[in-house]
Amino acid sequence: AVGGQISATARNNQVSILRAANGNQPEPLPAPSNGQLAVGDGIDVDDAGYAQLVFPDLFVVEVMRDGELVVQQAILDENNAIVSLSQVGGAILNDFNADEALDRRFVIETDFARITATGTQFLIAREANTPLEWIVALSAAPNDLYVYADGVTKTVTTNQARWVSPIGEPSPAFGADMGNMSQWVQNLRDGAPVAEFGEMIWAYANEKADSTTLPETLQVGVPFLLGNTAVTLQPGGTYRRLQCNGDGITDIYVENGTLSFDLRGVMGRVRAFDVTVQNYAEPGQNSLYGYNPAGIDSANRIAETANRTDTKSWEVLSLRSPEQPFHYAELNLTRGCFLGFSIVEPDAPPDAAVADIPLEPTSTVTPDPGDISPPPAPVGLTPNGVPYSCRPGETVSITFAWQAVSDPSGVFQYQTEAQFLGYDTDQYQAVDLNNWAAATQTTQSFGCVPGRLEWRVRAVDNSQNVGAWSAWAGVELVERINQDPVFISQPVTAPNRASYYEYQIAALDPDGDKVVISASEKPDWLTLTDNGDATAVLAGDVPRGLGYETTSWTAPQVASAGSVSLNQTQPPTPTPGGVLVPVKLVVEDAFGGVGTQSFEIVVPISAPDEQTTTPTAVPPQVVYESMPKTVDVGANYDGQIIIDQGSIEVVSLPPWLRYGYGEGQNKSVVFLTGAPAADDVGTAVVTFRLTGSEGANAGTAEVRYQFEVMAEPTPTPPELIVENVPLEFVTGPNKSYSGELTLDYGVVEVAFTPSWMGYSYSEAGPNSVLFYGIPTSEDVGTQTLTVQFVAPNGNSISRSYNIAVIDGSS
């Protein structure tokens, strides 16, 4: 390293030299004086500072705008020019002219990247208030300038720029406005105010995307592109493709979920991000957050907003940042639909991603201005006085229902109120039954906490008159004791035939819980297979030679090798009687209940195989197995076993299964795959023969796996609980059509409507749809409304309604 050859010149009085020998304590360098730097020394400039470093005949480095540069390495001679610098913040303009050097390299380590140059002019600028660095090539051939970050190296050529952030690889290259950049650099030299570098060199993005290009299948944790933005559905939520706002475009319906947006692929600076949502939650429950380039973390959050409108309405959630760009965003939906997003300039008003969003009606029936009477209090509340028993850890689902009330202007919605008093407290707690719909029931789930739940309901009519509360109804949550599961099958205490044992095990849980069957004690030659339905199979091949004893002998001494001890099997001697093999089975439920069954298998004494003068063969052992106990019709079965040595032979398997060996035809690994058809329902058995790798005396064993092919259950189709579709309508002034369809579960999908009819989902969710419109005399005739009732497994039922529009002017 050559010190003393590097010259630092202060261009104003806000420059200091950092001497390594003095612990990098700043030494002021007044303008226009010079100083010499050695390896380890550095230069520091204040916010309006400006200095130059000169490496004789090779480099000129300008340091500006609150930056620090330290010389890490410097080899400067007739044949070599190797310089390494570290940069912290600021703006560094590098003019590297090494035409006469045979080996030249210029390296700068920054906060987020490493830049390597071999003869070029370039600028490195760190934004003042944003974790973002810029590399701009003023003059660079294709192999002159490289930027490295996050394991990826990219080139930068003349008039190109790239940015680098704390996360990820360098950005795509884009053309830079060199005129603006040159003026920006000159202002820094002069000490004049300058705009943020990214604002000056990078144009604002302008992009809009609705949900037209959604993938056919929504996968949690797998990003998909909308425009140039990567969208990811985060774990923990419920997501469904659904037409939410009646515009014919499939959107994303979300419950308690989060959509994250990666904006780094957008070609432009993003300081304004708008997301269009359909709300099914109360104000403040759906929120949007924006983050700077440092990543999704509360410390990097630069803007946030939440829904302000009530349920059953669409809204644009709008983020604006005064300076820092958005690289990431998160949309948290308690309940609602994602319709799309817009990226606009920072001073633009909120922009909806969906054109001509149909406005929803405030009620399903035209209000009667003369109706000032509130609806009556509901009656017939159920359940009332009914005990619900449960165990700790269980969830109790309760459906609350009441009789519909009659009102001249119709019922707009029912409102519920509930409170809970635990047996171990004297304080009531409010409970949200989450019901603000026109339906006359709501279903909610509760944890098993002993106490009394009281609830009541009232009605609100379409003239917004609020009715009286009903009388309180109540239910009791009672804790009950868990009952232990038991075995109901009788154990098999002898082999079924000479060399094979099998016991079909059955258990019962008095509470109807799912149970797990295992063996806490059994011989290695028996395998227990739990079928997952309170049954299991204990089976295996009985080894020969049980009940015989073995002895050892020592071979004669060998002069060249010394004494050698060999364990050899001598002619066996039978032991009187049979062999008693102990077995202990265990059955457990999810609530701590345990049952056991202990017995002994009496295995008759049998002679071992004739070849008893050779060392005992050791069969391979299964060291890993993944053999599912059940598979549904049409679903793929994936199985695998691995043994510790030797090879696996497939002896038998169902015709719909295929098998293959491990990489490079490794026969110690076998994979199974295949999908059963309806004809394959029942018990399937796979048998493998395992052969050791110890030559002619290799041990062998057979293993069997049994599993069930399950028939696809026939789902209960959704049922209508509200069917209010008037089949006749007489036109007239101030008259509007209204209707409603509500399912007990599933989704109502609207396939076809008359041209005058609009629709929207109620606040109850996608299982309830409201119809509205004002047909005129031009619509007189029979119109058809077609809907589909869709179950969660995709099965659907279609239904049509013929609506007669009658001219009321005659």
Give the span between the Cα atoms of 255 and 240, in whole angstroms: 9
Which CATH number characterizes residue 650's domain?
Answer: 2.60.40.10
Quick one: 42 and 152 in the same domain? yes
Quick one: 678 and 751 in the same domain? no
Give the span between the Cα atoms of 235 and 225, in whole angstroms: 18
β-bridge partners, 443: 399
Quick one: 628 and 647 in the same domain? yes
Model's pTM, two decimal places? 0.48
Q: How many CB atoms lie within 10 A of CB 447?
A: 11
Quick one: 467 and 487 in the same domain? no
Instruction: Give the closest residue to 273 by CA, choosing from 208, 198, 178, 370.
Output: 208
Question: Domain end: 713, 733, 753, which one?
Answer: 713
Report if residue 393 sits inside a domain: yes
What residue numbers bound the domain in which 435 lies?
386-479
Give the span between the Cα atoms of 246 and 546, in whole angstroms: 75
Report if residue 367 sits inside a domain: no
Instruction: Give the closest residue to 311 by CA, choosing from 746, 770, 762, 760.
Output: 762
Query: Do the beta carbons of residue 123 and residue 93 sit within 8 Å?
Result: yes
pLDDT above 90 coverage of the chain, percent: 32
What's the average model confidence in pLDDT over 295-304?
A: 90
Quick one: 150 and 31 in the same domain? yes
pLDDT bin (cut points 50, 70, 90) of residue 332 is: very high
Report if residue 549 sits inside a domain: no
Quick one: 333 and 266 in the same domain? yes
Q: What tens digit of pLDDT does each residue of 680-711 get?
A: 998 999 999 888 876 545 678 888 899 999 88
Quick one: 13 and 147 in the same domain? yes
Average pLDDT, the chain: 83
Question: Which of 156-162's residues contact partners 24+ apart within 8 Å by CB, and which partners?
Answer: 156/122, 160/136, 161/134, 161/135, 161/136, 161/137, 161/201, 161/202, 162/134, 162/135
Lowest mean pLDDT among 72-86, 604-618, 672-686, 795-809: 604-618
Predicted pLDDT at 246 = 66
Quick one: 253 and 314 in the same domain? yes
Q: Which residue has the higher pLDDT, 345 or 407?
A: 345
185, containing H or E segment: helix 178-190
The string over 553-570, giving b where at least 16 C-beta atoms fall within 10 Å of a residue's C-beta and e elsewhere, is: eeeeeeeeeeeeeeeebe
pLDDT bin (cut points 50, 70, 90) of residue 555 is: very low
pLDDT bin (cut points 50, 70, 90) of residue 608 is: low
Report if residue 503 sits inside a domain: yes
Quick one: 492 and 474 in the same domain? no
Report if residue 357 sits inside a domain: no
Q: What tens digit of pLDDT does each residue of 136-152 get?
A: 998 888 888 999 999 99
Report if residue 552 sits inside a domain: no
Lowest mean pLDDT among 25-39, 87-101, 582-596, 650-664: 87-101
Lowest mean pLDDT among 293-307, 403-417, 609-623: 609-623
pLDDT of 560 higher than 60: no
Quick one: 49 and 139 in the same domain? yes
Give the span between the Cα atoms of 492 and 500, in whole angstroms: 12
Query: Do the beta carbons of residue 145 and residue 120 sit within 8 Å?
Result: yes
Lowest mean pLDDT among 326-330, 411-415, 508-512, 723-727: 411-415
Taking the CA atoms of the chain, what radius of gyration do you get in angstroms? 39
Report if residue 49 sits inside a domain: yes
Give the span between the Cα atoms of 799 and 769, in whole angstroms: 14
Give the span between the Cα atoms of 25 and 15, in whole angstroms: 13
Predicted pLDDT at 76 = 65
Q: Which residue has the higher pLDDT, 372 or 673?
A: 673
Query: Do the beta carbons of residue 398 and residue 384 sit within 8 Å?
Result: no
pLDDT bin (cut points 50, 70, 90) of residue 435 is: low
Question: Domain end: 607, 624, 645, which one?
Answer: 607
Q: Which residue has the higher pLDDT, 280 or 473?
A: 473
Predicted pLDDT at 97 = 62
Pseudo-torsion of CA 493, 499, 503, 504, nearest 10°? -150
Query: Do the beta carbons of residue 335 and residue 313 sit within 8 Å?
Result: no
Give the span between the Cα atoms of 534 and 516, in whole angstroms: 7
What's the average model confidence in pLDDT over 442-471?
A: 86
Predicted pLDDT at 339 = 93
Quick one: 162 and 21 in the same domain? yes
Lowest mean pLDDT among 83-87, 169-173, 376-380, 782-786: 83-87
- Give just the sign of the alpha carbon dihedral 135, 139, 143, 144: negative
Predicted pLDDT at 78 = 58
The string over 629-668, giving b where at least 16 C-beta atoms fall within 10 Å of a residue's C-beta and e elsewhere, is: eebbeeeebebebbbebbbbebeebbeebebeeeeeeeeb
Query: Do the beta carbons of residue 669 and residue 625 sit within 8 Å?
Result: no
Which CATH number characterizes residue 313's domain?
Answer: 2.60.120.200
pLDDT bin (cut points 50, 70, 90) of residue 100 is: very low
Predicted pLDDT at 365 = 35
Question: Domain end: 566, 589, 607, which one?
Answer: 607
Which CATH number characterizes residue 26's domain?
Answer: 2.60.120.1440
Predicted pLDDT at 574 = 42
Give the count of domains, the chain. 6
β-bridge partners, 565: 554
Lowest mean pLDDT among 102-106, 723-727, 729-733: 102-106
Report if residue 180 sits inside a domain: yes
Helix, strand, coil in percent for the chain, rounding step 5: 5, 50, 45
Q: What tens digit of pLDDT does each residue of 159-190 get?
A: 999 999 999 999 999 888 888 888 888 888 88
Quick one: 146 and 14 in the same domain? yes
